[in-house]
Amino acid sequence: MSPERIRSACRGALTLLLAAAIYEALARSGWFAPALMPTLEKIAATLVSVLADGSMLAHAVTTLYRVLFGFSLAILAGLPLGILMGRSRRIENFVLPLASALMPIPSLAWVPVFILWFGLGNTVSILIVFYASLFPMLLNAWAGVRAVNPLWLRAAGAMGADEQALFWKVIIPGASPFIITGLRQAFLRAWVAVVGAEMLAASDWGLGWVIFDAKEFLNADLMLASLAVIGAIGFAFERLVFGSLERVTVLRWGMVRSTKA
C-alpha cells in the first residue's frame, strides 16, 4: 500500500473512532435518557446476547425468507415479461402504460390495502417485496433487450442462427448488463420494502418487526443492534452476491469493464 492510501485508511479509522467516542460521551453524559441513547458497550452486549440465544438469527431467517421469496417471484414474472416486451411490440404497448402508472406508487402505500385483503403476516410482506422489486426487473430486462446491437442480430441471422440460438447466444448475453443491474436495483428495493412491510404488517418475526417492537418498550439498544444486522446483511448481499454474479457473467463475457483495475 502506498503511503497515500495508508494515510486515507488512518483518517477513515480515526473518524469512525471519533464518531464512536462522541456518541459514547453523549451517552454517558446523562443528558439523554439512557433508555434512548444506550452506550456502545450495552449495544454490543445486546447484539451478542440476541445472536447467542438465536432469536436474532430466527428474525434474520424470517426476513430473508420473505425477501428472497418475493424477489424470486419478481424475477420469475419480471424477467420473461420484460424480455417479451423487448421482443414484441404488442406486449410492449400493453404492459408499458400499466407499468409506468404503477411504478411511481411506493410499494409501502399498498401495505394497508394488502393487510385488509390478505391479513397480517407473511403474505403481505412477500407481496410488497414482489411489488417493489418487479418494476426495476421488468424495465431493465426490457431496456436490455432493446439495447442489443441490431448489427449483432443481423450478423447472427446471416450466419444462420435460428430463433433459439439467437435468443440464448445473442440476446440474453447482450442484455445481461442491464439484467444484472435490474437484479441489483430490485434487490435493493426489496430490502427497503421488506423492512417497512414488516414494521407495518408483521406479527411476530422479522428484523423490521424487531426494531418497531423495540420502540414500544424503549429498547434503543435492541433497535441499534438490529440496525447493525440489517446493514450487515444488505451490505453482504450487495458486495458478495451481486459482485460475484457480475464477475462470473458480464465481466467474463467482456460486456463491461471492471471499474477497479
Residues that bind another protein (CB under 8 A): 7-8, 11-16, 19, 36-37, 93-95, 97-98, 100-113, 115-117, 191-192, 195-196, 199-200, 207-208, 211-212, 214-215, 218, 220, 223-224, 226-227, 230-231, 234-235, 238
CB nearer to another protein: give 161 or 227.
Answer: 227
- Shortest reach from residue 235's CB to another protein, in Å: 5
CB nearer to another protein: give 146 or 167.
Answer: 146
Per-residue burial over 133-149, b if 16 or more Cβ lie within 10 Å, else e, is: bbbbbbbbbbbbbeebe
CB nearer to another protein: give 43 or 180.
Answer: 43
Half-sphere exposure of 151 (CA within 13 A, CB side): 0
Distance set, CA 27 to CA 40, 49, 87, 224 (Å) = 8, 21, 59, 13
- Shortest reach from residue 210's CB to another protein, in Å: 10
CB nearer to another protein: give 164 or 259.
Answer: 259
- Shortest reach from residue 252's CB to another protein, in Å: 26
- Shortest reach from residue 123's CB to another protein, in Å: 15
- Shortest reach from residue 220's CB to another protein, in Å: 6
Tell me the Cα Rg of the chain. 23
The cell for 150 is 441490431
The cell for 182 is 435490474
CB nearer to another protein: give 22 or 165.
Answer: 22
The set of long-range contacts for 167-174, using a CB threshold of 8 Å and a minimum separation of 24, is 171/83, 171/87, 171/145, 173/253, 173/255, 174/144, 174/145, 174/147, 174/148, 174/149, 174/255
